[in-house]
Amino acid sequence: MYRSQRLSLRYYAAAVTLFGVMIVFGLLSALYYLYPSLLFNVFNFSTSKIMHIDTLVIWLLMAFLGAVYWYLPKELGREVEGMWLAELTFWVFCAVVIVVAAVFIFVQYGPATDFTLWFINQGRKYVEAPRWATIGIVVVMLVFAYNVVATCVKAHRMTGIMWVLALDLIPLVLVYLDAFSYDRNMSTDLYWWWWLVHMWVESTWEVLIGCVMALVLMDVMGTSRRIVETWLYIEVMLVLGAGILGLGHHYFWIGTPQYWLSIGGFFSALEPLPLLGMVIHAVYDAGAHRLKTTNRPAFFWITTEAFLNFIGAGIWGFMMTLPQINLFTHGTQWTVSHGHFAFYGAYVCGVIAVFYVAKQKTSGAAYLDGKAWKWAYGLLNIGMVGMVMGLLLAGMAQAFFGRAIGGSTLMAFTTASENPWFVSGMYARMLFGLMFAAGYVALVYDLVTSPRRIATPALQPEPA
Amino acid sequence: MSSEIADTVRAGVGGDLADPVFWRAGAIATTAVMLVILAFLTIDSYRYISVGGLNVPKYDVINQHIGYEFNWSRHAAVPVIGGPEPLFGHKVTEAEAADLILKGKFVIQSRACMDCHTFFGNGAYYGPDLTKSWLDPAWPQIWMPMTGKTTREDAMVEFLMRPDKYPTWDRRMPNLRLTEAEAHAAVAYLKWLSAIDTNGFPANFGQAGK
């Protein structure tokens, strides 16, 4: 095992831990909706929400870094360049996360000064981390970029996947620089904030996970490099072709000109296409080639990634992306429903597959299967779909009663939030959230226990 | 895909569809074209979203009356800037207004307003959207009588400084220890925000029952 693969295991461990922290604060955030007096004035909803969404971003980012450190030496046939720096930045990354989390939890907010923005809270959704921590994250990303590029250079070898990955690092770092921004004009502030949020989540991250999935497919299913690279290019073409101007669906209501309604509506309606392509790809690979696998959990999570990415990001996004509908759904629990489903389908499922690849390698199991991963798989998927449906129910009640009929005022918001559809949706979300948490426990249990020796390690054909 | 169809398509584009190089060229070209278009659209959008631009008013708009009415030619509700109505009854210069708004944004970020509320629909969804909150009928109807204040802005300041004292339902706003100056700045910010043309978002604001 390469040194960088040992680093990747550390990144996975940190990622799985933060995944758990995210779930804890997700459950707490859900609880406020049912018991609004909970921890009132002591630990408010906003802090819990910050912890929930920021750990989401960080644990996925850590898992991506881990996945790249895992496959980089395999792909280029040599140890990663600058490993000591990579190992050092891992600990820097962890220290930054711990200090920021402690400040969020114990200090929470500060006076309206520069000091607060530098050391306590920047108060911009997803990038609340204070500025000093933002510098730390930029350093981590730069070291990561150096590792990738320097290893390619030293190896005198470049594959198509590595080209895509290396070029993707440029926007990955560049758009993150908006995390430093302070702009008194909310319209221009949000204009660039969406470059960060959209270009990360709907473009550069999609390309990054595309690279990782390409590597996993070759590894787990034995798909040929030619097929995988062809699909990766098609995916990049469609993701960026639709996604760059699909940014326009965030420019409907922030003070931007009216033409964004048509441009954003049109291009974001095309955004499901690459995701549909991945579904076809997965079915084609799994079925037409009658592929055999030695890693059943990884195989199932990859296939699930393709389907749920299409449904969660593609269909759920399309459902509310046209401006005629978005006028009423934007900023309701409907958005939350899409957000949960999309992040889960696009990234979480893929990342879990990557964890299982590492598990097989470290445990030395020739054939990875068992009971525990099936429990995790079932509980996580059913839990997520249940949460998404509960939130959709609540969001529809808000869009209809709060927005379209009520006119979006405080009283309209209140009335919609007391509507039985909304309330039952919130209870459903809580219930399925607990189920999701149980799935997480099963996942961790399965990842850390060594696999049972299976009597017939012979390759078994997968059902199509 | 049957090989017959694949052959036809292949002949049509003049390349091998299974050849990664063909799609690599497509990916690079598509990305480049889209980025150039986005750059032009961004430059043009700045004519609208800069302060004093077509959609975003100057900061001293807080000296004026602000309304929100349906515009039939735009097919959307738009802000209507009316006659003088200075905030806190005190007319401010453009520079003073800009300072006040700067401070207001600091309040909004330091208290992480966006992690309970939304602005232009962006943020968290635990509290109501604040895009047009300056115009919310709850101020004259609920909070002015409740706080005993005679103007909308005084009621807003009192509420923002002690929100836990003036609940309207069981989901209350916590006390975030705003000073009086901070509350003033936040109110100024919300008034300015309500004057931004948001293509009709939120729809029908304050129109229920009218």
pLDDT digits (tens, 9 = 90+) for A331-359: 999 999 999 999 999 999 999 999 999 99
Query: Per the CB < 8 Å rule, is B108 touching A121?
Result: no
pLDDT of residue A12: 97
Q: Reply yes or no on whether the pLDDT at B9 is more than 70.
A: no
Q: Reply yes or no on whether the pLDDT at B145 is more than 50.
A: yes
**Chain A stretch 244-273, residues whose beta carbon is closer than 8 A to a beta carbon of chain B:** 244-245, 247, 250-261, 263
Q: Where are the beta strands (DSSP E) in B85-191?
A: 118-119, 122-123
Tell me which residue in A41, A327, A407 faces B175 most closely, judged by beta carbons: A41
Where along chain B do its domains lie?
3-49, 59-194
Q: Which residue has the higher pLDDT, B194 or B19?
A: B194
pLDDT in tens, B154-169: 999 999 999 999 999 9
Query: Per the CB < 8 Å rule, is B119 touching A185?
Result: no
Q: Tokens for A292, please give them.
A: 């055999």
Q: Give the class (CATH, top level) of B59-194.
A: mainly alpha
pLDDT of residue A366: 86
Would you call A434 helix, strand, or coil by DSSP? Answer: helix
pLDDT of residue A457: 47
Strands B76-84 and B118-119: unpaired
Q: What is the DSSP letter of A315?
A: I
Where along chain A do its domains lie?
1-158
| CA-based nearest residue to A398, from A419, A374, A424, A382 | A419
Residue in chain A nearest B171 by alpha carbon: A36
User: Chain B partners of A406 at a C-beta cutoff of 8 Å?
Assistant: 204, 208
User: Chain B partners of A263 at a C-beta cutoff of 8 Å?
Assistant: 41
pLDDT of residue A275: 82
The string over A272-304, giving b where at least 16 C-beta atoms fall within 10 Å of a residue's C-beta and e elsewhere, is bbbbebbbebbeebbeeeebebbbbbbbbbbbb
Computed over its alpha carbons, how large is the radius of gyration of chain B? 25
Kindly give the confidence (pLDDT) of every residue in chain A, 464 residues in length, as a single tens digit, with 9 standing for 90 and above.
899 999 999 999 999 999 999 999 999 999 999 999 999 999 999 999 999 999 999 999 999 999 999 999 999 999 999 999 999 999 999 999 999 999 999 999 999 999 999 999 999 999 999 999 999 999 999 999 999 999 999 999 889 999 999 999 999 999 999 998 899 999 999 999 999 999 888 889 989 999 998 898 888 877 888 888 988 999 899 999 999 999 999 999 999 999 999 999 999 998 888 888 777 777 777 765 566 788 889 989 988 998 999 999 999 999 999 999 999 999 999 999 999 999 999 999 999 999 999 999 999 888 888 899 999 999 999 999 999 999 999 999 999 999 999 999 999 999 999 999 999 999 999 999 999 999 999 999 999 997 776 655 445 554 44
pLDDT band of residue B207 (cuts 50, 70, 90) is: confident
pLDDT in tens, B28-80: 999 999 999 999 999 999 999 999 999 999 999 999 999 999 999 999 999 99
Residue in chain B nearest A40 by alpha carbon: B174
Residue A370, chain B, CB below 8 Å: the answer is no
Torsion on CA atoms A99, A45, A435, A392, rounded to nearest 10: -130
- The residues that bridge with B67 in the sheet, in sequence order, are B80
CA distance B48 to B56: 7
User: Chain B partners of A410 at a C-beta cutoff of 8 Å?
Assistant: 128, 133, 136, 138, 142, 168
Query: Per the CB < 8 Å rule, is B45 touching A240?
Result: no
How many CB atoms neighbour CB A448 within 10 A?
Answer: 10
Residue B71, chain A, CB below 8 Å: the answer is no
Tell me which residue in B27, B41, B175 faces A236 most closely, judged by beta carbons: B27
Q: For chain A, count helices (H), then strands (E).
A: 19, 2
Q: Reply yes or no on whether the pLDDT at B198 is more than 90.
A: yes
User: Chain A partners of B56 at a C-beta cutoff of 8 Å?
Assistant: 185, 187, 255
Query: Per the CB < 8 Å rule, is B50 touching A185?
Result: yes
Q: Reply yes or no on whether the pLDDT at B201 is more than 70.
A: yes
Residue in chain B nearest A250 by alpha carbon: B122
User: Could you give phi then psi for residue A59, rounded to 5 degrees?
Assistant: -70, -35
User: Chain A partners of B201 at a C-beta cutoff of 8 Å?
Assistant: 252-253, 327, 330
